[in-house]
Each structure stands twice: as structure tokens, then as C-alpha cells.
Amino acid sequence: MTNIAHSYVVASPNNAPSLGRCGGFVAQYPQDAFHLPARSTSVAEARRRVSALLREWGADQQVRDDVELVVSEVFTNAIRHTDSEKIGCEVALVGAHIRIEITDEGGPGASAPHVQPGSVDKECGRGLFLVGALSDGWGSRPTGNGRGRVVWADLPYTGTATR
């Protein structure tokens, strides 16, 4: 399996404001990040990794289930709608929320994700509707190099981890 995995507790410049910048320092939160090849078999691996991490952090089962679903949907979209060779996944416990960020490498025609009209009744295309229903907020931004995109979602956290 080709992947890069690491854990860290530092905020990157792109997400520092959402991680709670206080005065001259950034508060530290439990975080993890990894990259997987951009292929359909990686979606299940991403779900497993995120679920195991949240179990370590003491997240309730419902939180783990919701986060797994959101990771599945956004990771799948990154594979289907970009020319990425790898997809990044970052998870952070920020106060009363789990922040998920999925990063792709973009490609020709890659655009910002949006909920498709009438997607609730369709078998395909309702992923972002589900992301919106499960999260307190979600959105996207270009990556630092402008070629790819980061799709993020904040889900409510309940569990025993210290914040």
C-alpha cells in the first residue's frame, strides 16, 4: 500500500483561524492527516483510519458513523471529479466539533462542489446533500498552489476526549 501517514498537533496557515487563534498563539488540538491513492479502494481505507482515530479520541459511535459517511462521500467525489493521483485527509478535534478536510489535486474541469438540485431523490449525486445534513457547516477552498481543492466539514463531537 502506498501512503503517507503522520500525526501532528500544529495548525497550518490555511486552517489556523478555524482552529482557534488566540492572541499570539494557536491552541493545540488532536489532529491526524494521511494521503491515499486516488482509487475507489482507498475510500474504505480512509473510513477505517478515521473511525479508528475517533475511537482513540473517545468519540461516540454516532459521531464515528456520521464522520465515516462524510469522509466516504467527499473522498469519493475527489476521486470521481478530479485528476488526482492521491487524496489527503485531515481530521481535527476542535472544541465541540470534528473538522474534516479532504484535499484533492484538481485537474481540468475540476470545479467547486455543490449540492445538485433534486439530489435527494437520486441514487447518484446526493452525497453533498448528506454532508450538509450531517454537518454544522461545510465548504471548499482552493489549495495553496491553486490547482487542487480542500473540501471541509465540521460535525458535532460528543465523546470523552479532552479538548
Q: Which residues pair with 140 in a beta bridge?
A: 151
Task: Look over the chain and give the mean of its residue pLDDT values, rounded to a whole number.
Answer: 78
Residues 77-115 pLDDT 10s: 999 888 999 999 999 999 899 999 999 998 655 556 655
Residue 140 near residue 148, CB atoms below 8 Å: no
Residues 10-42 pLDDT 10s: 333 344 334 433 344 444 678 999 999 999 999
Which fold does the domain 39-156 belong to in CATH? Answer: Heat Shock Protein 90 (3.30.565)
Q: What is the pLDDT at residue 115?
A: 57
Q: Which residues pair with 101 in a beta bridge?
A: 90, 152
Classified as helix, coil or strand, 129 is helix
Q: What is the pLDDT at residue 103?
A: 95
User: Which among 106, 110, 91, 119 has a CA at the least distance from the CA of 29?
Assistant: 91
In the structure, what pLDDT confidence band is assigned to residue 160 with cuts at 50, 70 and 90? Answer: confident
